[in-house]
Amino acid sequence: MRIFVDADACPKAIKEIICNLARRTSIEIIFVTNQFITLPTLPNLRLLQVSRGFDVADDEIVKQLVAGDLVISNDIPLASQVIAKGGTTINNTGKIYTEQNIQQHLAMRDLMAHLRDNLQATSYSKPFSAQDKTNFSNTLNKWLSEQR
């Protein structure tokens, strides 16, 4: 099992949780990004920098992913591809995307995009909160304990 982090839009607090996980486990963790980020020097932690472009990082994650891997991302289409390959995705607020709920999330995403395109809705994402950080950490730890 490996953990891939869709690092371009990943909050600093989530990166810190994942780096702390790398310090206390031997799980291979790969931060995939199209820009350089600084990571601690640990044998199980690495940066995979990809070229800039739409979905380049997502495509690289899907290419390298094998069944049983975990992806950290808020990207719902990426989560759908991860599920199709037998992986799991946890978003930054601790939500796990599953075969049972991914279609609903994709439909809601498409509906909101349609409404925004027709000026019937505006984009709004609430700021990342301390509760989101706690929820993410709890979900990640629970998922990891279930894998052992």
- Residue 24 is predicted with a pLDDT of 93
The low-confidence residues of the chain, meaning pLDDT below 70, are: 105-107, 109-117, 119-125
Q: Quick one: pLDDT at residue 97?
A: 92
Residue 46: what pLDDT? 95
Angstrom distance (rounded) from CA 105 to CA 145: 26
Write down the pLDDT at residue 105: 67
Domain ranges within the chain, ordered by starting residue: 2-98+129-147
Please tell me the predicted confidence (pLDDT) of residue 103.
Answer: 73
Residue 141 to residue 9: CA distance in whole angstroms: 21
Q: Which CATH fold would you assign to the domain 2-98+129-147?
A: Rossmann fold (3.40.50)
DSSP for 16-28? HHHHHHHHHS--E
